[in-house]
Amino acid sequence: MKKKSLSAKKITVDNFNFKKILRDKKVLQIYKNFLKNIRNLNFSNKIAISISGGPDSMALCFLIYCYKFIENKKIQPIFYLVDHGLRKDSKTEAQIVKKHLNFKKINLKILKWKGKKPISNLQSLARQKRYSLIFDECKKNNIKVIITGHHQDDLFETFFSRLLRGSGTEGLSSFAGIEKKFNFKGKTITVVRPLLSISKQNLIYITKKVFNFYINDPSNEMEKFQRVRLRKLILNLKDQGLDFKKLNLTISNLASTNQTINNIVDYNVSENVIFRKNQYLINPNFFMVPDEIVFKSLSFLIKKISQKDYPPRGKKMMNLIKELKNKDNYKATLGGTIIEKIHNSVLLSLEKTKKR
């Protein structure tokens, strides 16, 4: 960051005294790290900021405002918080976060997860719902970029969570880049995670310095959730020498391998799949490549024809592939897609939903 940016005339904006706060060497170093991650990204005017009220997202608010005013960026950050309604205090906490951000002249819109809540796989489904609600807002307001508070600790936890799940190279390397593109109802939305190289401890430091407030989610201490158990495991592994640079190198290597596999998948699809009248016709050579290629190729086709954000779960996909390889005639429905094998060819078509 250039020294002259810190001596700009309009340095106190929206109740943030940037000059005073950035005199703290630790805060300044964290901001420089953030700036390195975000400065080469191209943003349109409006960007969505996903807020939870935790120390990571509160720190993100400050860093985004630093980026906007100190670097003189013509961006319009729009802040969203999703109230999942999973705890009795969630509504109150959301209003408290809104109040604290209002003190800094930040307007926060609260989105609510309405309807019946699931009993199992709660955290994963809540995460999907959070993205869905914010994506809907982005689509309505023509916003193409969402910035989230995912940080270094999240990278560790996600990697080991997917490792335990038996994920392939794509799942294990999903946090390899700061940017990730999603197709949502025909619109491409880019999720940006500029805090991935910053530890939660450092984000807590900024939040205390700037806001002296953040929400502490009690579920972060509940060992019934896998992520909480993984945090304790990761602490032990860090004592044994695991560090961010080593894990990041592993993830980068996996991402490179994944890209190579994706190139082969693209070739397999282009050579062995015919598109006709909203259907995919797959010839036998499609299944003559290694299982990982078949798995990813078929997942890609099902996701594309169903227009869903996520492909079917791995176990169901593996069972489907096994049946398609071993039977001459077979029919099934998976992920909103009808899969039908007749002799050597497989036909994929969109499942028609019944009108109520």
CB 94 within 8 A of CB 67: no
Q: Check pLDDT > 80 for residue 12.
A: no
Over residues 33-43, mean pLDDT: 86
Domain contains 254: no
Of the given ranges (214-223, 227-236, 317-326), which has the lowest mean pLDDT? 214-223
Do 53 and 140 sit in the same domain of this protein?
yes
* Weakest-pLDDT range from 18-22, 26-30, 104-108, 165-169: 165-169
Position 349 confidence tier, pLDDT thresholds 50, 70, 90: very high
Residue where a domain stops, chosen among 223, 242, 261: 242
Q: Report, as an integer, the average pLDDT of 219-247.
A: 79
Say if CB 163 and CB 106 are below 8 A apart. Answer: no
Confidence of residue 65 (pLDDT cuts 50, 70, 90): very high
- Is the pLDDT at 5 greater than 60? The verdict is no
Residue 9: inside a domain, yes or no? yes
How many whole angstroms separate alpha carbon 94 and alpha carbon 53?
8
Residue 198 forms part of a structural domain:
yes
| Same structural domain, 213 and 279 | no
Q: Are residues 197 and 336 in the same domain?
A: no
Angle between helices 152-165 and 226-239 (to 10 degrees): 110
> Is residue 267 one of the residues assigned to a domain?
no
Percent of the chain residues past pLDDT 70, beyond the cut = 92
Same domain, yes or no, for 300 and 175?
Answer: no
Which among 227, 242, 257 is the end of a domain?
242
Q: Kindly state whether residues 223 and 309 are assigned to the same domain.
A: no
Q: What is the pLDDT of residues 66-123, one digit of tens each?
A: 999 888 888 999 999 999 888 888 899 999 999 999 988 899 999 999 888 777 777 7
Range of the domain at 291: 272-350
Q: Of the given ranges (159-163, 188-192, 198-202), which has the lowest mean pLDDT?
A: 159-163
Report if residue 14 sits inside a domain: yes
| pLDDT over 70 at 356, yes or no | no
- Give the CATH number of the domain where residue 22 resides: 3.40.50.620
Quote the DSSP letter at residue 72: T
4 token code pair: 């002259």
Same domain assignment for residues 284 and 330: yes
Task: Compute the average pLDDT of residues 141-146.
Answer: 93
Pull the structure tokens for residue 203.
């984000």
Position 262 in a domain: no
- Nearest one of 34, 49, 74, 31 to 145, comparing CA atoms: 49
What's the pLDDT at 2? 45
Q: Is 70 found in the same domain as 160?
A: yes
Whether residue 356 is contained in a domain is answered as: no
Q: What is the CATH number of the domain that holds 334?
A: 3.30.465
* Global pTM value: 0.79
pLDDT of res. 40: 78
Q: Could you tell me if residue 84 is inside a domain? A: yes
Q: How far apart are CA 170 and CA 172, in angstroms?
A: 6
Q: How confident is the model at residue 222 (pLDDT cuts 50, 70, 90)?
A: low
As a three-state string, the secondary structure of the chain is CCHHHHHCCCCEECCEEHHHHCCCHHHHHHHHHHHHHHCCCCCCCEEEEEECCCHHHHHHHHHHHHHHHHCCCCCEEEEEEEECCCCCCHHHHHHHHHHHHHHCCCCEEEEECCCCCCCCCHHHHHHHHHHHHHHHHHHHCCCCEEECCCEHHHHHHHHHHHHHHCCCHHHHCCCCCCEEEEEECCEEEEEECCECCCCHHHHHHHHHHHCCCCCCCHHHHCCCCHHHHHHHHHHHHHHCCCCHHHHHHHHHHHHHHHHHHHHHHHHHHHHHEEEECCEEEECHHHHCCCHHHHHHHHHHHHHHHHCCCCCCCHHHHHHHHHHHHHCCEEEEEECCEEEEEECCEEEEEECCCCCC
Mean pLDDT of the chain: 86
Report the alpha-carbon distance of residue 130 to residue 128 in Å, rounded. Answer: 5
H/E segment holding residue 276: strand 273-276
Residue 6, pLDDT > 70, answer no
Strand partners, 189: 182
My answer on whether 8 and 157 are in the same domain is yes
Total tally of structural domains belonging to the chain: 2
56 vs 20: CA distance, rounded Å? 21
Burial zone of 62 (CB within 10 Å; 0-12 exposed, 13-18 middle, 19+ buried): buried
What pLDDT score was predicted for residue 265?
96
Cβ partners under 8 Å of residue 350, min gap 6 = 278, 305, 306, 336, 337, 338
Q: Are residues 215 and 344 in the same domain?
A: no
